[in-house]
Amino acid sequence: MRRLRPLLAILFVFPLLGSDSPKDYDDSIIMGDACLGEWTRLTLRIGGNESTLNDGWTLTIRRDNFSESVGAQPIGTWPCRIELGSPNRLTLPSPKSYQFLFRVEGETLILGYYNGAVGRPKGWDDPKIHVSTFKRVKK
């Protein structure tokens, strides 16, 4: 009986040590968090021509809203929707109706969009796409 107690204890405790992660967890929450934060534009590429910019265009992306400012001048805040996939998408519904592709590479946010952000580019290889590169603002 003495040998049976440790075995029963192990069989009883083992199932209690299971993971508390949601079933089918695939780290998508963590990926989506990568685009959240404050970003300042560094470059703009149109038709293969890339320009370094110091225009002060700053974006702040939260889970449910998107804010823009130029320097200290706020432009506005709107609701947004972040969709993870291939490619990732960021959409500002009415009244703006802006549509972006995005990817995050370390501390760099890359936004792809058409001029005026009207209509969604089909992909990163779209010849009409404008690509802005942003650096995360350190607080």
pLDDT in tens, 67-97: 999 988 999 999 999 999 889 999 888 777 7
For residues 77 and 14, which has the higher predicted lDDT (pLDDT)?
Answer: 77
The type of residue at 71 is: G
Residue 57, pLDDT above cutoff 70: yes
The string of pLDDT tens digits covering residues 90-126 is 988 877 778 899 999 999 999 999 987 678 888 999 9
CB-based contacts of 96, cutoff 8 Å, min separation 6: 78, 117
Q: Domain 35-136's class?
A: mainly beta
The β-bridge relationship of strands 65-70 and 57-61 is antiparallel
Q: Which of 102, 75, 80, 76 is nearest to 92 (CA)?
A: 80
Q: Is 29 helix (H, G, I), strand (E, B) or coil?
A: helix
Domain ranges of the chain: 35-136
Tell me the mean pLDDT in the region 30-38. Answer: 76
The token duo for 138 is 């350190």
